[in-house]
Structure 1
């Protein structure tokens, strides 16, 4: 089992080369970070004629934007009523509305720019792995239905037919959602932004920012860009001490394991409509199939820090529990991406200094949230109106004891997976 991201090797959107930033550039807006948020911001700004320069430390993509499960989900990680409780009625209603429409925003961009990212639009499935999980899905179904969302609670045979396993007796189908190849989607956004006139520079890491009169100067190893407005879209991959985004999330990880392509004769009854799925476990398992028929399993935790034998054992355990009809699977590859978490599972939008916008804490919903945040940032920069954003731009207190949060999460994930491997848990 090799260490490689399957989305990179199977992306229909080819890798494009963008130049390093050399010399001194000037723009209306500078964007730091070439993931989905930064590219969506650059694209929507360039489409309105704004001069924008984007800086990415590596290739596009090199972080979580190209390494996720590829679920195009609506909403946040927590259900609508929990969002209202966490954010208050006004902000909660706004977040539910904007993020409820987020999958449609993603699919609209795909269609408008001809992004070949193998997207499906048949929904996603939340799977109840036990009785408590079934009660949680009933709670979510009631809340989503009250909001007018097109959701369906699948039971018994209808549920098993959609998932392909007798282990799941109840699932929540959200018809707003879908799947895609995240590397291909991110590459497609970059192509569209470049074609619209945005200046994209890879291998141009931002090394620091300084205020110069009415502009911000962002320095890179071989150049700089000066702009009156700056967007920092680094989220879970924020490292530098000068970058205040790092104070507003704690880092987690999500690993995945992919099989070779499986024939329809062998695996055609597994997620036959190609919905992406995840279960209600304390430490969830994600399940989906890609365009070539691979079974892709994932879970919270850092796969890079675990031996291949551990990951293989975990994948075997989950696969044999849900899909024993496959027999023995020779897993093809594994990869890990980073996730920006917040204690209350909600994102943060803030202005750390005049003229600078920042965002953190997508909590595993980066494809849809990053897309709409980029669109909302562009609209705000053009008009001063932040109504297209899921939340108002406001001040936040830094997250305390971040290392403890990260260590606690990772330790808990590892213990849970070890319990699965030892058949103590399933």
Structure 2
């Protein structure tokens, strides 16, 4: 098995890369974006389409962070159920956020169609799988809440779930027909290429060194050069060190690893996720399964496969494969990789005001593709039109979380211990 630290299978299967340069001159623009992930590239695309001049500064490469390392599920909504969102941020704000993110897959797939982005886009829906009887109870409650908020989801019994997944390991599922999957790194590069076509200028390997507001413009220093712009968007999320040396809001870092098999044999393709839905489960230590266009099965789980517990996470992935699909028990894994999720304490993303016409957006808590596209697009509009009310969450003036490193270590320890037990005993959470 090949172990990659940068994007794994997604980097290996990327065919259409955005061609960029290193910042080598002083520039002026209407908007400067720090971070070349989903949020930053979606913002650049929207701003350029609106006729604004845009500069994107990425410290590494496009999609280097979570945007190029995630599962690739284009989900509606947040990780939280609707009633919890409303309870945490209020009825009006909660309903507005829920409505905006319910339509988020539409926005993603419409952009893919409009811009001709080649990213293995598959709108076959997603399955939230009940890992245990307790998980089915959770799904019934989510189904009830979703129906009350006008969402068209379908509750599936164990037999229907077995037919759709090809595995008897699950007790049922919640199916969202509006959702789907993409090759996430390819989608991010597609956004970047579309932004370039619209006139945006993107620079890789150009980490921001300082940000200051000078008069009526923002001045960002990078590579010994300066970019001056009326508006600023910081979009580094779980990779603030990779995106900028400027102080950024902190969230607890949560690692998520993935293991991709070699392409499945034809008889397995006929019954392993034959409809190509993307899946994740109800376990506290969540896991995911999906297929790519080449027919590989991709198993994901919380934990850092490149960290101290890497061997344990790899053993867990092998055990998971054997449990879900005994006939594939010894199928080799071709790739493994890991990425970071920015987890806020309440699992609600934040838009932080940095000053005049400037925002930082972070804390997707594992839901980066569709919400990142929505918030990047709306942030561009809000900055260019000086209209913060366009954003579907209230903009906050400050945000602080304590002990984020300790929380991240706690999450990793918990995932490692659970995976160690399951790898050894096959425990069902």
TM bracket (short chain): over 0.9
Aligned length in residues: 424
Indicate whether 1:222 and 2:241 are aligned.
no
1:3 — aligned with what?
3
Deviation for aligned residue 1:255: 0.5
Measured after TM superposition, the shift of residue 355 of structure 1 is 3.1
Q: Is 1:409 the equivalent of 2:395? A: no
Shift, 1:174, TM fit: 0.7
SS of the equivalent of 1:219 reads strand
Kept after mapping to 2: 8 A contact 1:376/1:387? no
CA deviation string 1:101-156 (max 9, x = no partner): 10000001000000011111111001111110010000011111122212111113
Q: Match of 2:356?
A: 354
Q: What runs of 5+ residues in structure 1 fail to find an aligned partner?
A: none
- CA deviation map 1:333-386 (0-9, x unaligned): 100011100010110011022332111100010001110001111111232333
Report the RMSD for the aligned CA atoms in angstroms.
1.5
Name the SS for the 1:277 alignment partner: strand
Contact 1:258–1:294 (CA<8 Å) still a contact in 2?
yes
Check conservation: 2:18, 2:190, Cα contact below 8 A. no
Give the Cα–Cα distance (whole angstroms) in 1 for the partners of residues 118 and 265 of structure 2: 23
In 2, Cα distance between equivalents of 1:308 and 1:89: 42
Describe the SS at the equivalent of 2:128: strand
**Structure 2 CA distance, aligned partners of 1:292 and 1:191?**
24
Cα distance in 2 between the residues matched to 1:308 and 1:74: 31
1:232 matched to 2:234? The reply is yes
2:129 and 2:10 map into 1 onto residues whose CA distance is 24
Q: Which residue of 2 aligns with 1:421?
A: 423
Q: How far, CA to CA, are the matches of 2:415 and 2:223 in structure 1?
A: 38
Q: Structure 1's 424 and 10: CA in aligned 2 closer, same or farther, altered over 3 A? A: closer
SS in 2 for 1:304: coil
The more displaced of 114-123 and 305-314 is 305-314
1-structure distance, mates of 2:371, 2:350:
11
Is the 8 Å Cα contact of residues 316 and 329 (structure 1) preserved in structure 2? no
Local SS of the residue matching 1:117: coil
Distance 1:19 1:174, change over 3 A: same
Distance 1:383 1:221 in 2: 30
Deviation at 1:388?
Answer: 4.1
Take 2:256 and 2:121, find their aligned partners in 1: how far apart are those partners? Answer: 21
- Equivalent in the alignment of 2:373: 371
Q: Does 1:75 align with 2:62?
A: no
Structure-1 residue corresponding to 2:253: 251
Contact 2:315 2:423 in 1 (8 A): yes
Alignment of 1:86-97 (within 5 A): 86-97=88-99
2:47 equivalent in structure 1:
45
- Asked whether the 8 Å contact 1:21–1:201 carries over to 2, the reply is yes
Asked if structure 2 preserves the Cα contact closer than 8 Å seen for 1:22 and 1:224, the reply is: no
Structure-2 separation of matches of 1:162 and 1:303: 28
Change (3 A) 1:308 1:209: closer
Matching of residues 284-303 of structure 1 within 5 Å: 284-303=286-305
Contact in 1 for aligned 2:133/2:171 (Cα 8 Å): no
Q: Could you give the per-residue CA deviations for residues 219-265 of structure 1, whole angstroms, max 9, x where no partner exists? A: 11231101121110011000289634333x22111110010011221
Distance 1:330 1:198 in 2: 42
Corresponding residue SS for 1:245: coil
What is the Cα deviation at residue 55 of structure 1? Answer: 0.4
Give the distance between the partners of 2:328 and 2:199, measured in 1 at CA: 48
2:326 is aligned to 324
Distance 1:368 1:335 in 2: 22
Between 1:343-352 and 1:393-402, the stretch displaced more is 393-402
- 1:17 Cα deviation after fit: 2.3
> Match of 1:304?
306
Q: Equivalents in 2 of 1:242, 1:88: separation in Å?
A: 34
Q: TM-score, normalised by structure 2?
A: 0.96
Three-state SS of the structure 2 residue aligned to 1:183 is helix
Q: Report SS of the residue matched to 1:23.
A: coil
How far apart in 2 are the matches of 1:77 and 1:157? 25
Whether the 8 Å contact between 1:106 and 1:371 is mirrored in structure 2 is yes
1:370 is paired with a residue whose SS is helix
Given that residues 59 and 244 in structure 2 are in contact (C-alpha distance below 8 angstroms), is that contact kept between their aligned partners in structure 1? no
Note if contact 2:44-2:54 (Cα within 8 Å) is conserved in structure 1. yes
Greater shift in the superposed pair: 1-10 or 232-241: 232-241
